[in-house]
Chain A
Amino acid sequence: MMELSGERRSVAQLPWLLLAMTVLTTAVGIYNLASASRPPSAPMWVSQIVYFFIGSAIAVVVAWIDPKLLERLAIPIYLFNLAALIALKFFGHKAKGAESWFVVGPIRVQPAEFMKLGMLLMMAKYFHDDHRPQQPTYGFLRLIPPAVIALVPTALVLVQPDLGTALMMAFTTITVLLFARPSLPVLIVLGVMAVAGAGVLWNDYLRPQYTEERFTIVRHKLKKHQDARITGWLDPTSDLKGSNYHAMQSKIAVGSGGMNGKGWMEGTQTGLRYLPEQHTDFIFSVFAEEQGYLKCLGLMTLYAGLLLAALGVAAGAKDRFGAFVAVGIAAMIFWQVFENIGMVTGLLPITGITLPLLSYGGSSMVSVLIGIGLLVNVSMKRQRSGL
């Protein structure tokens, strides 16, 4: 009966809200990209549509894979992604100081974008297999395997160096771990670590300086541009012509959008190219400048709908694997949105990270859509088992 019901999937079981939010957000993204890549730039929105269809096709395949097979494939997928990240060290293409790309003919692939999905699948599998109803909370020992599962790829991404993606992976992992219900001691330790992290930041950057030589804990190990970004984040007025220039220009773009925006294709910061990476990392600045605050709230609502729909999928998941995959993907999208918008509005230091469904780029688009495909997969398993 189970085997039979496994074949019984239908359109009616699809998570419609999730799909609607995804398509709507992508449409907003393409509309916005048309302005960000206005002539004399290449019309990137056309390629973005192509990426969307490629990503959707892959997502459909992912959605239709037998969940059992997906669960079994978690380990090979994870290992394959790890291998790809390591291979990057040797065959990777250097762009803007980081080795993040494989170049095969005209195609450029960013393995980190897929690694995060592999990592989530692997963690979900662990929490699924390790479920002990008699021991509902996770102590230190039981959290070691998922921590290792997350730490290895995060470290590999960090050394590329791709601080933005690594941070996003770390935050996603912490979210998933917290969701898995850690024991009280673990929570206390995590709390202490958070305080300690804030303490390091204060010591290295904010502590009033009385001597020439500042005693630092982590700061001296950072690369110069990373250090400058943190300094710029904590003190936006420092070095406005240098490392803080882009952060300031981005804030100017966002702030000058006002309530109603300057209008599509009318953004001056965008048109005069004051924004760095204005079609990828800083795409939100373009949106804010041209569309204004009200439409930004609309975009926030779209993301909120997307996240709630994803959590809805988690809530209906038939097993822990599905629930953890859904929560993980939701957390991944949330952190990417939070980090990206936080960065272009000066709330967070500038790290390279894309805005899901709005930023231009094949890898980013395809990986988000695969995530949506996974959510659909989980969702349909729920419907089937509900019969």
Chain B
Amino acid sequence: MIKLGQQSDAKDLRPRLIGVAVFFIAGLLVLSVNLYRLMVVRYEEFNALSVDNQFKDVRLRAPRGLIRDRRGEVLVDARPSLDVFITPAFCQKCVAEVIPRLAEVLQWDEEQRARVEALLKAAHGPQRYQPLIAAVDISREEFDQLLARQFLLPGVDLEPVPHRSYRAGPTLAHILGYMNEITQDELTKLNGSLERPPYALGDYIGRRGVERGFEHAIRGTDGWVKHVVNARGEVMRDARGNLLRGGTSEAPAAGNNVVLSLDARLQAEAERAFPGTAGAVIAMETKTGFIRAIVSRPAFDPNEMTGRVSPKRVAQLSQDPLQPMVFRAGAEHYHPGSTFKVVTLLAALQSGVVTPSSTAVCNGGYTLGNRRWRCHNERGHGVVDAKRAIQVSCDTYFYRAADLMGIDPIANVGKQLGLGGPSNLGVAAEVPGVMPDTAYHNRVTPGGYTKGMALNTAIGQGDVNVTPLQLAVLYSAIGNKGHVLNPQIVQRIETPDGRVVETYAPKQVRQLEMTDEQHKLLIDGLVSVVNEPGGTATRSRSTEYTIAGKTGTAQVARLGAVRLKKEQMNYFERDHAWFAAFAPAEDPELTIVVLNEHGGHGGSDAAPTAAAVFAKYFELKKADSFALGEEWVPPRPPKPIIFAKPNPAAPADVSEPAVADVPLPPESTVQAPPGTP
């Protein structure tokens, strides 16, 4: 039996089913209309976007230019290095699986692993599609191992990248600089809104030195090629390995080479001959300002600094008490000591307080007011004229001159010779040094300027501070009769095939006027320092050419009552040894400044380095002129020493310890020996 009620159970629902059907059809119509809007109305727009998606400009890196010395010897090159990149977006199970596999092959320690993991974590949003550098310069063996495991390493790419190689290691580190990864800020600044941005995340950029200063010239221009790529950015190839539908491309333009004025051979000799733990050696062409050799010690290894350097190592370098990162030739200043006396003498001559023939009597010191300034020779030098004052470095003579003219004429000549302002070598940071004058002391010194400050300045102590580079410019200006030059180290820029793009001419900053008489007196004085008995650097005399120079011993710590030997003092309290010279004296070609930081005396600890570099310079010059078939004109030998033969046992060079303001007890005035002015 069939119950009627049960049979008609669902009949009442039927009209409403029509409503449901209408609703469903309406829903599908909405979808269809929307599809029409996208696929027919906006077809062009979306089709263009889909075409755009298929092609990507893949960058072709331009090889970076080389850095060469004046003779073409390669100082910095770019060899290919195999680098490991990780693209976070494509690196599945990165931290859990991929990183441990990489770490195993590349033998990472915990620190390296943590660094890469931190980098991965830091990448957000679109950055996740940018490859990160995970390892630099892996070995061929490691490369093969990673290649074999390629399928276990999603998102990991191996790419040959030109890697800088600084062939001479730490030599020239401050001049050449190094490279490391560009920062986000620099990217924003350098790329601006350019369509083809010159830099990409992960690129290296020059830091310090020529690498930084000439980045624009050495970098070159990256090329690009249009490739069909998938959503992961992988270049698609067809079955035969050809690139799919490759479009237009532009080849990269290699960076230009930078040719330095350095001579690698002379540089090597300067490095070898310099005995100091710390300090600087500069060999500069006297008439042009081009640097032939430059040592700043201690230094770092740019090969180590380029690429990944562990934070531990950076901390170690920056905390090293000897400060290897500091460019001592230009970015550190020192008391010039007696090397400054040429400035004082020139100022005194020009202001007329002394004449070439006027004399002073040195009895071991000079008294001003109730204080006594000691000469380094406590027994006194007796009667001293200008030339002899330079030769024996008589402090008393310059105290007197300073007392007579005050500090400002000295400062005036010093500034004209380039002191108190950077020398603008241009490839490394420099400090301006200090050339004090009345205004300076009134501003800086409590109690303002007093005459005593002029006396200290006159012998290169007090507040006067110079960089070795400034001193090289200064002595060149003495040698070339007043041409104050801008030191330069880059001679020219060349294309990779050797075409000259730009040549740098010598630059003169200013001209210091001096009479022939004044010039001759200065030269004679400096020649006598090296070449005449009693001079402070006669040990470094050459018999083949005439060196004109001046020693200096800059006091670092205050002198006690008893003079200590170098070995008895703490390293950081020892004197700085200076020697500044040029040769040949009659027509100077090369100026050399040696600073041996905490090295002792100028005559014994700085001058021999300069002598060795001069010797090498003339030897190379002679060899080169023969090689080039030029006529060799030897320099004129110095006048023979007529007096006694220098006795090596005797202290031929009375190296002068620095003497500075030694305040005397106010009550107990030291009696001035007779004859003191």
Contact = CB atoms under 8 A, between A and B. Distances in A.
A314 B10 CA distance: 9
Interface residues of B, number: 46
Contact of B28 (A288, A300, A327): A300
Chain A CB count within 10 A is highest, among B21, B31, B230, for: B31
B230 A293 contact: no
B24 A307 contact: yes
Contacts of B378: none
A242 B32 CA distance: 28
Q: At the interface, is chain B mostly helix, strand, loop or mixed?
A: helix
B556 interface: no
A253 B231 CA distance: 13
B639 interface: no
B567 interface: no
A255 B43 contact: yes
Given A241-B125, A256-B49, A269-B53, A181 B39 contact: no
Contacts of A311: 17, 20-21, 24
B50 A268 contact: yes
A242 B129 CA distance: 11
Interface residues on A, range: 35 or more
Interface stretch (B1-9, B505-513, B601-609): B1-9
A297 interface: yes
B36 interface: yes
Contacts of B1: 1-2
Nearest to A259: B40
Interface in A277-295: 288-289, 292-293
Interface in A295-319: 296-297, 300, 303-304, 307-308, 311, 314-315, 317-319
Interface string A171-184: 00001000101000
B46 A254 contact: yes
A34 interface: no
Given A300-B31, A323-B10, A338-B27, A181 B53 contact: no
B229 A272 contact: yes
A106 to B, nearest CB: 21
Given A252-B49, A255-B43, A258-B43, A296 B7 contact: no
B147 interface: no
Contact of B39 (A257, A307, A314, A341): A257
Interface of A: 1-2, 131, 133, 136, 175, 179, 181, 241-242, 249, 251-259, 268-269, 271-274, 288-289, 292-293, 296-297, 300, 303-304, 307-308, 311, 314-315, 317-320, 322-323, 327, 330-331, 334, 337-338, 341-342, 345-347, 385
Interface of B: 1-2, 5-7, 9-10, 12-14, 16-17, 20-21, 23-25, 27-28, 30-32, 34-36, 38-40, 42-43, 45-47, 49-51, 53-54, 125-126, 228-232, 236
Given A131-B9, A269-B53, 19 more contacts: A242-B125, A255-B50, A258-B47, A259-B39, A259-B40, A268-B51, A268-B53, A273-B231, A274-B231, A292-B39, A293-B35, A304-B25, A308-B21, A319-B9, A330-B24, A338-B28, A341-B31, A342-B31, A345-B35
21 contacts: A1-B1, A2-B2, A179-B13, A179-B17, A179-B20, A241-B126, A251-B46, A252-B53, A254-B46, A255-B49, A259-B40, A292-B39, A293-B36, A293-B40, A308-B25, A311-B20, A314-B13, A323-B13, A345-B38, A346-B38, A385-B2
